[in-house]
Structure 1
Amino acid sequence: MPRPVWSGAISFGLVTIPIKVLPATENHSISFHQYHLEDMSRVRTRKICDLDGKQLTNAEIGKGFEVSKDTIVAVTDAELDEMPLPTAKAIEIAGFVPYESIDPIRIGEGYYLQADGQVANKPYTLLRKALERNSKAAVAKFAWHGRERLGLLRVQDDVILLHAMKWDDEVRDPKELAPKAMELDDDEIDRAILLIDSMTTDGIADQDWATDRYTEALERVIEAKAEGKKPPEMEEEEAPAGQVLDLMAALQESVQKAQSARGETGKDATVHEMPKKPKKKTAATTAAKKTAKKTTAAKTSVAKKSSAAKKTAGKKTAARKPRRTA
C-alpha cells in the first residue's frame, strides 16, 4: 500500500469526512543516472551558494520570492501551512455536475481518498453511495503544493477518487489549430465509421496494444548488456508497397486489416467505390481539345517528313563506295 501524500478532510456542506490521499497510479518507467563516460563514475547535482561557493544541504535551503532586484522575501513552510485559506486542510466540495460534462483535457493525476479512522467510515460511505446513485461528480477546491487547485471527485470500485483539474485559463484555445473546412461526402464518413467499429473493444484492459513495449524493449537491452551480450536488434518491418494517395482506398484497406486481425470477415467489410460523375464539357475545354488535335497533327506531319528525309539520306550514303587509302 502506498504512503499517504496528503491528509485533511472532505467538506460536504456541514459534513466533515477525515481522509488520507494516496497515489492512484504507479510509474514503472526505467530511470537512469548520469555517469562520466571516461571512467563511469557517478555524476551528481550539487547545490552551491553563489556568494561563498559553499555546498549546501537541504536543511540550509529555503524558499524565497524576488520582489525586486535587491529584495528577496523568504517564505517558510510553516507560513505556507498556516495561510488563512479555507481549503488549506480541506477538500471543499463546491457543487456537483454530470461526469460527462467535464472535458477530459482538464482532468489530471488521480488519487485515492481513504477514510481516516472509524468515525469517517459512515460519512465517507454516504458520500460514495450518493455519488453512485445520481451518476454525478463533485467539483471541489483544495490547496496543495503551494497553490489552490480545482478538483473532481468520482467513485471507482467503492472508493472515492480525486482528480486534480486545470483551471479555465490553463487550457489553451485550440481554435487556431483547427484545419480549414473540408468537403467530405457521406461515403467517406461511412467508411471511417466502419473502421472505428471494426477497431472498437469493450475496454483497454487485456488488449495486445495496452502494453508498454518501450519499457520491455529497454529491459531486454539492459539485460543483454549486463550479460556482456550484444543488444537485440529491432526487427525490420515490411516496407509498404507504395504510398496510398487515395483516402477511400486507405480506409478500405484499414478496415480489412482490422477485421482480419480480429478474425472477422464479412460483406460489411467491402465498401464499393462511388461512381465518378462525368465532367461537364465547357467551351474552353472543347477549344483546348481542338487546339491540341491540331498541334498533334502538325507534329505528326513534321515527324513523317523528317523520317522520310532520314531514309533518303541513308540510301544515298549506302550507295557511296568507301575510298581506299594508299
Structure 2
Amino acid sequence: MPRPIWSGSISFGLVNVPIKMYNTVKKKTISFNQLRKSDGCRIRLKKTCAIDGAEVPSDQIVKGYEVSPDRYVVVTQEDLDSLNPKASKTIEIEDFVLSEQINPIYYEQSYYLSPDKGAAKAYTLLLSAMKESKRIAIAKLIIRNKQHLTAIRPDGRALTLSIMHFADEIVSKDDIDDLPTDIQPEKRELNIAVQLVESLSADFDPTKYHDEYREKVIEMIEQKAEGQQIVNQPAAEQGAKVVDLMAALEASLAAIKKEPPTAKPRRKKARAQ
C-alpha cells in the first residue's frame, strides 16, 4: 500500500481541501557498483583536494560558487536558510487555465492527491468543478524549503499534481538551429504521409510498451549469476539512407497494406473531462 509523501491542503478562495500526496511512479532502475577487476573489491570514492591531493573530511567542506576562473564566493548553509521560502502546508491556487494552453514540455514530475479525513466532499466538489469548467489549476507548493510551480489536473476519480518548470528554465525554440521555416510539403506527399499515419494509428495502451533494454540487462545478469555463457547479439543493421521521399512513403504504405489485418478495438468517442 503506498504511503503519502506529503500532506497539507489545497486552498482556492476561502475553501480549504485537506489532501495527501502520493507518488505516481515507482522508478525501475539498475544500479551497478564499481569493483576492482582483479578480485572484485568494492571501490569507494574519496573527496580530495585538487591542489595537494589530500583527503578532505566532510566537516571541512563548504559550498562555493565560481564567479570567475578559480575564484569562488563561499556560501554557508545559514546563508541559504535565511533565503528559504516560508514553510507552508498549503497549495495555493493562483489561476485556473485551459489545459491546452500548457505545453507538455513544462511538466516535470507528477503525484496523486487524495482527500484527507473528512475532506471527501470538498475534494469531490473541486474535482467536479474543474471537470465541468474544463480547467486545471496553477498553484505554488513548498516542499523541502523549495518553491515549486505546479498544475493540478482532474484524472478520473482523482486529482493529480504535476511539478512544472518555470518559464525561464525552458529553452526557446528560437535558440534551436536548423528548424525549417519556409518549407511546405507537396500535396501528394502530404496525402500519402497522412495515410501512413492513419494506417499506424491506434488507441494508446501504455502496457504495450516496455523498457526492452532494462529487461535484457536483467536477463543477462540472471544468466551470468547462474553461470550461463553469454552470447553477444549481432549489431543491428543500419537503415538505408532515404533518397526519394515519395518512394519511401509509397513503399511504407504498401508494406502496411500487405500485413495481415489485426482486430482493432472500436474507437470510443472521447468525452471531455
Tell me whether the two structures share a fold, i.e. TM-score over 0.5: yes
Tell me by how many angstroms 1:152 deviates.
0.7
Alpha-carbon distance, 1:119 to partner: 2.2
The equivalent residue for 2:33 is 33
Structure 2 vs 1, CA of residues 47 and 262 (structure 1 numbering), >3 Å: closer, same or farther?
farther
Q: Report the Cα distance in structure 2 between the residues aligned to 1:18 and 1:107, rounded to whole angstroms.
A: 24
Amino acid corresponding to residue 149 of structure 1 in structure 2:
H
1:71-117 deviations in whole A, cap 9, x for unaligned?
54333997677x436xx32211111111122101111111111222x
Alignment of 1:226 onto 2:220: no
Bigger proportion of residues as strand = 2
CA RMSD across the alignment: 3.2
* Partner Cα distance (1:70, 1:252) in 2: 62
Q: Any conservation in 2 of the 1:20–1:114 contact (CA below 8 Å)? A: yes
Give the corresponding residue for 2:266: none
Deviations 1:117-141 (A, max 9, x none): x222221121111112222111111
| Cα distance in 1 for residues equivalent to 2:182 and 2:38 | 57
Query: 2:113 maps to which residue?
Result: 113
Tell me what 1:104 maps to. 104
Give the length in aligned residue pairs. Answer: 254
Cα shift at 1:167: 1.3
Deviation, structure 1 residue 213? 0.8
TM-score, length basis structure 2: 0.79
**Correspondence for 1:91:** 91
Alignment of 1:1-326 (within 5 A): 1-46=1-46, 53=55, 55-56=57-58, 69=72, 71-75=74-78, 83-84=85-86, 88-116=88-116, 118-175=117-174, 176-177=176-177, 178-207=179-208, 210-234=209-233, 243-261=241-259, 263=261
Distance 2:11 2:162 in 1: 16
User: Is the alpha carbon distance of 1:39 and 1:105 closer, same or farther for their aligned partners in structure 2, counting shifts above 3 Å?
Assistant: same
Q: Which runs of 5 or more residues in structure 2 are unaligned?
A: 263-273
Q: Is the 8 A contact 2:62 2:75 kept in 1?
A: no
Asked whether the equivalents of residues 138 and 152 of structure 2 are also in contact (C-alpha less than 8 Å), the reply is: yes
Distance 2:47 2:147 in 1: 29
SS in 2 for 1:96: strand
1:188 Cα deviation (Å)? 0.8
Tell me how far apart the structure 2 counterparts of residues 171 and 31 of structure 1 sit (CA, whole Å). 30
Q: Is the 8 A contact 1:63 1:75 kept in 2?
A: no
What is the one-letter code of the residue matched to 1:89? K
* Structure with more relative contact order (C-alpha pairs < 8 Å, separation 6 or more): 2
Q: 1:70 to 1:235 in 2, by over 3 A?
A: closer
Secondary structure at the counterpart of residue 220 of structure 2: helix
The TM-score with structure 1 as length reference comes to: 0.67
Q: Distance in 1 between matches of 2:72 and 2:30?
A: 41
Distance in 2 of aligned mates of 1:16 and 1:63: 41
- On the 8 A contact 1:63/1:76 being kept in 2, the answer is no
Change (3 A) 1:31 1:193: same
Unaligned runs of 5+ in 1: 265-326
SS class of match (1:119)? coil
CA distance in 1, matches of 2:62, 2:127: 39
Render the CA deviation track for 1:132-154: whole Å, top value 9, x for unaligned: 22221111111234432211111
TM-superposed deviation, 1:238: 6.4
Q: 2:86 & 2:133 partners in 1: Cα distance?
A: 34
Retained in 2: the 8 A contact 1:17–1:120? Answer: yes
Q: Is the 8 A contact 1:65 1:74 kept in 2?
A: no
Q: Percent identity?
A: 32
Query: CA 1:146/1:253 → structure 2, altered by over 3 Å: closer, same or farther?
Result: farther
Q: Which has the higher helix share?
A: 1
Change in 2 beyond 3 A, CA 1:223/1:197: same
